[in-house]
Amino acid sequence: MRWRYFIPFIVVFSGLLIAALTIDWWMKWTFESAGSYAAGARVDIERLHVSYFPLALHMGHLEITNPNLPMTNIVEIDKVDFDLDTRALLEKKWVINQVALEGISVNTPRARSGVLAHSKNKTPKSELTKELEAGLSHEWLDVQELLPKIEIPKAENLEALKAYEKAKSDLVELQKKWADVIKGKPFDADMKTVQKEVASLQETHIGKISSPQDLAKIQAAINNAQAVIVHAQALSQKVSDQRKVLDADMARVSGLPGAIKAAADRDCQRLIARFSLKSLPQFNFGTAYLMPSIQKWVLPLTSRLETALYYKKKLAIPSASKLHGRDRGEDIFFETEHTYPKFWVKSVVISGRGKQGEFVKGSVTDVASDQKFVGKPMVASIEAEHLLHSDMKVLLSFSHADSSVFSLTVSGVPLSKKKLSGSDKQHVDLESGVFGFSTKAQIMDGVLTSDTVLAVAPLEVESYGFNADTWSADSILADVLGSIHRLDVSLKVSGPFKSLHMGIETNVDNVFKFALDKAVQKRLDQAKADVLKQSDHVIADKQKEVDRLVVEQRSKLGAWIGAQQKQVNALKLHVYQQKNQYDKQLKDHKKQAKATAKKQGKRAARKLLKKSF
């Protein structure tokens, strides 16, 4: 044995001892250096302590700088504790009994700049990096561009509006026609004739009936009265005929609203067809209105991933292991006597509060490289609340054993104010609203099954400036959006990862159909109300006038006819009385003549008879 070679070992062990005593310092330096390298900006740890019994790491006030905003921290954590299992570590197993992250806050200001000194000398971007970045541009759907694609018919092309205009012109025409009819006083001439006849009938004086010629006069008067009655009846028939024409016109007016409604129904069907999602492949309600802020982050990330995978495949970039000099071999794992997986975090506890009152707390238990050693699934549960928006809550749970089950529920997220459409005359603002979504996913044997439900309620739409044109596309869209109370989109994804099948079930189509129907119906009702209001007014006025005229004329005529009839009857009675009196006188004269003849002879009788007539 060459004992003098022990000297280096003593030096080495002394160094190790010093290192052990100063481990807090160099661990702090290591974490800060490695963290800064990984983050691309300063990572600061105020204090760090390593304890050996039990083996634990305690960090106080960890700050990670935002590389894009050197005076802002991405995240700041008041306290970070790691509690490690020493025995498992000797068996090359990383078992962490508990990780506690307390007082997490994000986007906090820094006291000093977090720019790294060496970060200014960045290496120039490679062609591939530039190409990848160039491929990340994403075209956002613009509502202004989207609206023309919806192809809402112009107001002048709506059948309902044409029917409405025709009804209006018909009503004006009829109004003018009946105004002319009434102004022309069509029955006045006939009425005057009848009046004259009746007057002349009244002036007829028969006088004392004393001879058979007087009876002829009476007969002529009766004939005149009957002729007046016939004339009056003819006049009444003329009025009835005119009334029939009026009734026909009224029936025509009554049919106008029905014609408008039929046309409006056809318009509605056309509008609904325009709004059908099937005919609008580019129209994504969520993309356009609901989740702009989420998409701003998510879509570039997914796009980045897709682009990276595409270029990796295209350029056949080998994996890191193939670039290594020596064959790395394969690690074979044997049964272990202890229930330790290779890596196991028994518990992670987090809690934090944001500047605006956001509060988040959660725990993750039993994160392991091989869950069968743990004997229970990994369960993660995070709950977040926003104090300013007390309705907003985020609940995330995840469990993983033989299969992974994810569950994420986000509710009450306030939507930011968004200008939907704007011009000098018309504005539609999505004032506010909330949305929430719930997703459940399960991965079993590499097969994913997920069900996501997105709900939006309610969209408060503020619209103004639409009075100029109630049938404009923006006006209808504003009404449609304003009347939507809840939109549900159920996204189902299933299948192995290489060939996922996706299906969407949504009530957006029905809700749009319903809302559109309602919006159009509102306008149609208004149009019908306008038409009916006008037609009812005109018809009622005219009908009242005609009725009054007919009743008045009939009344007058009836009175005249009755009076004349009465006079005729009186005359008849008078005539019959005169006749009876005459007959009695004649009978008396005959009786006297017979008596005289009996007394004075036939000659005297004949003289008497002659005298009597």
Partner 1 sequence: MLLWFITKFYSLIQALHSKDSPRQIALGFAMGTLAGWAPFNVLYSGFILFLLYMLNVNMGFGLLGVLIASILAFLLDPIAGLLGHWVLLDVPFLQPLWTFLFNLPIVPYTRFNNTVMLGSVLIALVLFVPIYFGIRFGVNRYRASWHDKVEQWRFVKWIRNSRLFLWFLHVREY
Nearer to partner 1, 20 or 248 (CB): 20
Tokens, residue 518? 């309602």
**Per CB under 8 A, 139 contacts partner 1:** no
**Per CB under 8 A, 322 contacts partner 1:** no
- Identify the residue among 281, 325, 446, 611 touching partner 1 (CB under 8 A): 325
**Per CB under 8 A, 611 contacts partner 1:** no
- Identify the residue among 10, 21, 90, 117 touching partner 1 (CB under 8 A): 90
**Per CB under 8 A, 372 contacts partner 1:** no
**Per CB under 8 A, 111 contacts partner 1:** no
Candidates 214, 236, 105; CA nearest to 557 is: 236
**Per CB under 8 A, 52 contacts partner 1:** no
* Least Å from the CB of residue 54 to partner 1: 17
Rounded to an integer, what distance in angstroms lies between the CA atom of residue 436 and that of residue 456? 6
| Cβ-contact 243, 550 below 8 angstroms | yes
- Identify the residue among 156, 203, 335, 424 touching partner 1 (CB under 8 A): 335
- Identify the residue among 47, 87, 130, 501 touching partner 1 (CB under 8 A): 87
* Least Å from the CB of residue 445 to partner 1: 24
* Distances from the Cα of 264 to the Cα of 261, 400, 519, angstroms: 5, 56, 12
* Least Å from the CB of residue 334 to partner 1: 4
**Per CB under 8 A, 333 contacts partner 1:** yes
Kindly state the DSSP code that residue 522 receives in the 8-state scheme.
H
* Subset of residues 4 to 23 that bind partner 1, contact rule: CB under 8 A: 5, 8
State the DSSP H helix or E strand holding residue 415, giving kind and residue range, or none if neither.
none
State the DSSP H helix or E strand holding residue 506, giving kind and residue range, or none if neither.
strand 501-506
* Least Å from the CB of residue 326 to partner 1: 6
Tokens, residue 395? 């609940």
Nearer to partner 1, 16 or 309 (CB): 16
**Per CB under 8 A, 510 contacts partner 1:** no
| Cβ-contact 380, 408 below 8 angstroms | no
DSSP for 44-94 reads: EEEEEEEEETTEEEEEEEEEEEETTEEEEEEEEEEEEEEEE-HHHHHTT-E
Rounded to an integer, what distance in angstroms lies between the CA atom of residue 509 and that of residue 68? 42
**Which amino acid belongs to residue 83?**
D
Give 485's contacts (C-beta < 8 A, 6+ positions apart): 457, 458
* Least Å from the CB of residue 402 to partner 1: 24
**Which amino acid belongs to residue 485?**
H
Rounded to an integer, what distance in angstroms lies between the CA atom of residue 345 and that of residue 535? 81
**Per CB under 8 A, 281 contacts partner 1:** no
Tokens, residue 213? 């010629």
**Per CB under 8 A, 334 contacts partner 1:** yes
Task: Please work out the total of residues on this chain that contact partner 1, with binding judged by CB under 8 A.
Answer: 22
Binding window for partner 1 (CB under 8 A); candidates: 27-35, 336-344, 445-453, 560-568: 336-344
Count of beta carbons in the 10 Å neighbourhood of residue 135: 15
Nearer to partner 1, 5 or 613 (CB): 5
- x-marked contacts with partner 1 along 425-464 as a string, rule CB under 8 A: ----------------------------------------
| Cβ-contact 353, 359 below 8 angstroms | yes
**Which amino acid belongs to residue 2?**
R
* Least Å from the CB of residue 87 to partner 1: 8
- Identify the residue among 124, 184, 212, 329 touching partner 1 (CB under 8 A): 329
- Identify the residue among 139, 327, 402, 424 touching partner 1 (CB under 8 A): 327
- Identify the residue among 156, 180, 337, 402 touching partner 1 (CB under 8 A): 337
- Identify the residue among 21, 52, 92, 207 touching partner 1 (CB under 8 A): 92
| Per-residue three-class SS string for 167-191 | HHHHHHHHHHHHHHHHHHCCCHHHH
Nearer to partner 1, 90 or 111 (CB): 90
* Distances from the Cα of 304 to the Cα of 66, 133, 318, angstroms: 20, 8, 19
Footprint on this chain of partner 1 (rule: CB under 8 A)? 1-2, 5, 8, 87, 90-92, 325-338
